[in-house]
Amino acid sequence: MDAVIDNLATFRQGFVTTLALTVVSAALALLLGTLLAAMRVSPVPTLRAAGATYVEIVRNTPLTLVFFFAVFVLPQLDIRLSYFAFAVLAVTVYHAAFFCEAVRSGINAVGVGQAEAARSIGLTFTQSLRLVVLPQAFRTVIPPLINVVIALTKNTSIAAAFGVVELTAVATRLANANSQAVIAIFLGSAVCYLALTLPSGWLAGQLERRVAVAR
């Protein structure tokens, strides 16, 4: 236990890095994911195909391999960024596909009658999406989106293997330095992760229940 208390500052640094990585990547991935979802439901075939291809490729690739391409391949092409920026890039590219799927399933969950009614009063594709479908999809889509953010939070731990000193990297380093307190150190960082994931999961569950009642 002493090993944890002595290294509280290190833990805090790791926690802040994990949080920063999560927030920045989640914001960017949500943006890219929503764009992809809009592409996938648009009437333009090329955009639909491009969006579907992106999602299909990324969904079947391990995040670790995406990190490989960011960290080992981009420098070969003279693209040099900090490890943190590479990690943001990899996490964003990977999770955008899952944000896209969450948004798309939200759009699909809105009743057919809504879109039909919007069309029958003469709204165009953009209008019916913006004024009728998306505002309703937004409600149902929030809990799944939070769940993807939770998954993203956990997945930022992979950045530890690629030079970013976040919570998992801190745990590994401290564990290697204090062999008598390995378990306490891992419990310490587990508590930090749970402090992020459990409340978000609870919030998602509550919202899900409210939306379910409202329907």
In the region spanning residues 97 to 126, those forming contacts with another protein, defined by CB under 8 A, are: 98-99, 101-102, 105, 107-112, 115-116, 119, 124-125
Q: Which of residues 149-168 bind another protein (CB under 8 A)?
A: 150-152, 154-158, 160-161, 167-168
Q: Is residue 48 a contact partner of residue 42, using CB atoms and an 8 Å limit?
A: yes
Nearer to another protein, 5 or 151 (CB): 151
Q: Is residue 197 a contact partner of residue 150, using CB atoms and an 8 Å limit?
A: yes
- Per CB under 8 A, 214 contacts another protein: no
Q: Which of residues 167-186 bind another protein (CB under 8 A)?
A: 167-168, 171-172, 175-176, 179-180, 182-183, 186
Q: What share of the chain is helix, strand, coil (3-state, %, to 5)?
A: 90, 0, 10
- Per CB under 8 A, 135 contacts another protein: no
- Please compute Rg for the chain using Cα positions: 21
**E-assigned strands of 33-129?**
none
Nearer to another protein, 85 or 123 (CB): 123
Q: Is residue 1 a contact partner of residue 70, using CB atoms and an 8 Å limit?
A: no
